[in-house]
Amino acid sequence: MRHALKFISSLRLTVALLSLSLVLVFAGTIAQVEYGLWDTQVRFFRSLFVYWKPAGGEFAIPVLPGGYLLGWALLVNLLAAHYVRFKFAWSKLGIFLTHFGLIFLLLGQFFTEQMQVESSMRLEEGQSKNYSEAGRSTELVFIDHSNSEFDEVVAIPQSQLASGRELAPPKLPFQVKIEEFHLNSRLRQRAPMMSTNPPAATQGIGVQAELIPAARATAMDAINVPSAIISFKGDGAPTGTWLVSLNLDQPQTITVGGKSWDTALRFTRHYTPYSIGLLDFRHDKYMGTEKAKNFSSQVRLTNPTTGEDRETLIKMNQPLRYAGTTYFQASFEPGRDDITILQVVRNPAWLTPYISVIVIGLGLIVQFSMHLFKFVNRRKSS
Partner 1 sequence: MNPINSSRARLLVTTIGLVMVAVGCSDESVRVYQVPKEQAHAQQPPAATERPNAPTAHVHWDSLPANWKDRPVTGKMRAAEIGITGSGGQEAELVAIPLPELAGKELEFVNMWREQINLTPTTTAAIAELREPLTIAGNPGQLFDMVSDKPLTEGQPKQRILVAMATIEATTWFFKLTGADELVAQEKSNLKGFLAKVELHTAAHDDPHAGLASAPPTQSAPPAAPAPGLPKWTVPAGWTAATPGPMLLASFDLAGGGGKVTVSSLGGDGGGLLMNVNRWRGQIGLSPLTGDQLSGVTKEIDVASGKATLVDLSNNDRRMLILVVPHQGQSGFYKFLGDASAVGKEMDAFLQFAKSAQY
Q: Among 15, 30, 48, 60, which residue interacts with partner 1 (rule: CB under 8 A)?
A: 48
Q: How far apart are alpha carbons 94 and 167 in whole angstroms?
A: 55
Under rule CB under 8 A, which residues in 100-129 are in contact with partner 1?
A: 110, 114, 124-127
Q: Among 151, 308, 309, 311, which residue interacts with partner 1 (rule: CB under 8 A)?
A: 151
Q: How far apart are alpha carbons 239 and 179 in whole angstroms?
A: 13
Crossing angle of helices 352-381 and 93-115, in 10° steps, is 170
Residue of 227, 245, 247 whose CA lies nearest to 183: 227
Does 152 bind partner 1 (CB under 8 A)? Our answer is yes
Q: Among 289, 305, 381, 382, which residue interacts with partner 1 (rule: CB under 8 A)?
A: 289
Q: How many residues lie near partner 1 (CB under 8 A)? A: 59
Q: How far apart are alpha carbons 314 and 352 in whole angstroms?
A: 25
Q: Among 54, 170, 258, 307, which residue interacts with partner 1 (rule: CB under 8 A)?
A: 170
Q: How far apart are alpha carbons 265 and 142 in whole angstroms?
A: 9
Task: List the x/- string, 66-105, binding to partner 1 by CB under 8 A.
Answer: --x---x---x--xx--xxxxx------------------
Task: List the x/- string, 239-278, binding to partner 1 by CB under 8 A.
Answer: --------------------------------x-------
Does 380 bind partner 1 (CB under 8 A)? Our answer is no
- For residues 50 and 64, the answer to whether their CB atoms sit within 8 Å is yes
Q: How far apart are alpha carbons 101 and 233 in whole angstroms?
A: 55
CB of 380 to partner 1, least distance (A): 35
Under rule CB under 8 A, which residues in 6-35 are in contact with partner 1?
A: 6, 8
Under rule CB under 8 A, which residues in 297-336 are in contact with partner 1?
A: 335-336
Q: How far apart are alpha carbons 94 and 83 in whole angstroms?
A: 17
CB of 195 to partner 1, least distance (A): 7
CB of 198 to partner 1, least distance (A): 10
Specify whether the backbone of 85 is left (phi greater than 0), alpha (psi in -120 to 50) or beta.
alpha
- For residues 155 and 137, the answer to whether their CB atoms sit within 8 Å is no
CB of 352 to partner 1, least distance (A): 17
Does 207 bind partner 1 (CB under 8 A)? Our answer is no
Non-local CB neighbours of 22 within 8 Å, separated by 6+ positions: none
Q: How far apart are alpha carbons 299 and 117 in whole angstroms?
A: 22
CB of 53 to partner 1, least distance (A): 19
Residue of 126, 252, 230 whose CA lies nearest to 175: 230
CB of 123 to partner 1, least distance (A): 10
Element (H, E) at 53: none
- Give bridge partners of residue 252 from the DSSP assignment: 263
Nearest CB to partner 1, comparing residues 32 and 303: 303
Q: Which residues bind partner 1 (CB under 8 A)?
A: 1-2, 4-6, 8, 48, 68, 72, 76, 79-80, 83-87, 110, 114, 124-127, 130-131, 139, 145, 147, 149-157, 159-160, 167, 169-171, 188, 191, 193-196, 271, 285, 287-290, 335-338
